[in-house]
Structure 1
């Protein structure tokens, strides 16, 4: 039944028989037959379909919850047995907020040195998407803000505090300052992350605290787009200090601390609060704790 549940989960995720079959590496008739066999075994209709996928039935929505639990438990069992015989191997799926993406090598590189049989998939997602993917068993872990919006039932490891800087080209207004205020930053032509990003909501909040508001002339969900526009000298941005340091900004780009207030927000690793954890997730938590101690010692 496990393979049929995985068929069903892929269909629920893609909401398209052809795309689900392609994702699974099977033919569409094989997928359709598998879903029909699962419906026959359970004695309920799971999918509303005519010439194409329409929706899950109410029973289908209930089965989807169980399917995620059952397949995750099966994966955990397989990983434990494999790790007991041969050590850790497999793939870790991590989703990170855009401002944390540049920090992921600090976690993945030492992890893979300890466990060379492990590979990674790293996705860029909003904080809301990180939690949704985690709850749906679509990722193993997330890297997101810990102290700004509700997290739900997760286990978290704080990694570092995110502080904010004005990132601007040399020779532009404010570029020679040692520090700037949030209200001064608001007067610059800004390129910022889109409003669905928690980083943007944080920035909007601190600007409002200073009696200002964000009026970006460019928005994007890509940090690369923001960096490329900063380099033109026509835009400035607000980014975390650790991100600026990771990308190694040098002249003609300046990173200037923003004060009034000197704001910070905790970023960390989150995993689902479930037992038992897969050996891969347990090892990732240990690596995150080592990284957190390294940040604290700086």
Structure 2
């Protein structure tokens, strides 16, 4: 059994398509298909349902998938251990982040890169906490920024992070010029657009509003902060977004106002798989995630 065979099999399971899996692995479809067939021959079971195209994994394939992810992850950790012994940690750190965690992951990635110049990073944004946890458990991510309530098992190691305040983004004429903060009751009278109900920042928002006797009904919902900001830029919409998600993307002429009565804050945590011993990359991420 070759490591490359497992890596090609993981790519196929992830992409659900021979051509896309081959492209992601930088090999031809025939090379990838032959590697998977050799893996099947060695294990003595079919791993893939084949018709005219990929039709899913067999039951045995699902079982092998779990072990393949772990074997590839362990091989990567071993390589990192050797690199650390040579004082040259050189690997790729894969982060997943919910919309509220953009600023937090930016700080962590910057600190990680400064402390480990040979480590590169990738960030998958716009995910839900549950999606991030699932990808951690399948070893598709190395760490994530999530709502801490989604860290639902002893297999997860969490580091608490600072909470993020929700703010109101609106056009210049949405509220009187002398208004310098927005209440929940004011939002109830505004043309409101919010994040989708399945996202934790929205759930926290709804809970706080409900606790203050307010059940707001947005006219537009989306899973993208970018879409909310575009709506506000194009029309007379009022949006509520995590303050940390704004960055420098705000169009001139828009206003950002504090949300009060109630104030809404989303707690955050960095989470990773609680491997013991922790791989070198996990140790490096932990070191830069603690409060300065």
TM-score by length of 2: 0.90
Structure 2 gap ranges (5+): none
Q: Are 2:127 and 1:116 equivalent residues in the alignment?
A: no
Structure 1 gap ranges (5+): none
Q: Are 2:99 and 1:98 equivalent residues in the alignment?
A: yes
Superposed, 1:22-33 pairs within 5 Å as 22-33=23-34
Cα shift at 1:240: 2.6
2:205 to 169, 190, 203: 203
Cα shift at 1:219: 2.6
Q: Are 2:226 and 1:224 equivalent residues in the alignment?
A: yes
Q: Are 2:282 and 1:281 equivalent residues in the alignment?
A: yes
Deviations 1:197-239 (A, max 9, x none): 2212222222333333332233332222222332346111112
Cα shift at 1:196: 2.9
Conservation of the 8 A alpha-carbon contact between 2:167 and 2:240: yes
Q: Are 2:90 and 1:89 equivalent residues in the alignment?
A: yes
TM-score by length of 1: 0.88
| Whole-angstrom CA distance in 2 between matches of 1:15 and 1:228 | 33
Conservation of the 8 A alpha-carbon contact between 2:102 and 2:244: no
Count the aligned residue pairs: 289
Label 1:171 to 1:50 Cα distance change in 2 as closer, same or farther (>3 A): closer
- For residue 173 of structure 2, give the secondary structure of its aligned residue in structure 1: coil
The range that moved more, 151-160 or 65-74, is 151-160
Deviations 1:51-100 (A, max 9, x none): 21112111111111111111111110011112212411121110101222
- For residue 231 of structure 1, give the secondary structure of its aligned residue in structure 2: helix
Q: Are 2:72 and 1:71 equivalent residues in the alignment?
A: yes
Q: Are 2:195 and 1:193 equivalent residues in the alignment?
A: yes
| Whole-angstrom CA distance in 2 between matches of 1:102 and 1:203 | 19
Conservation of the 8 A alpha-carbon contact between 1:163 and 1:240: yes
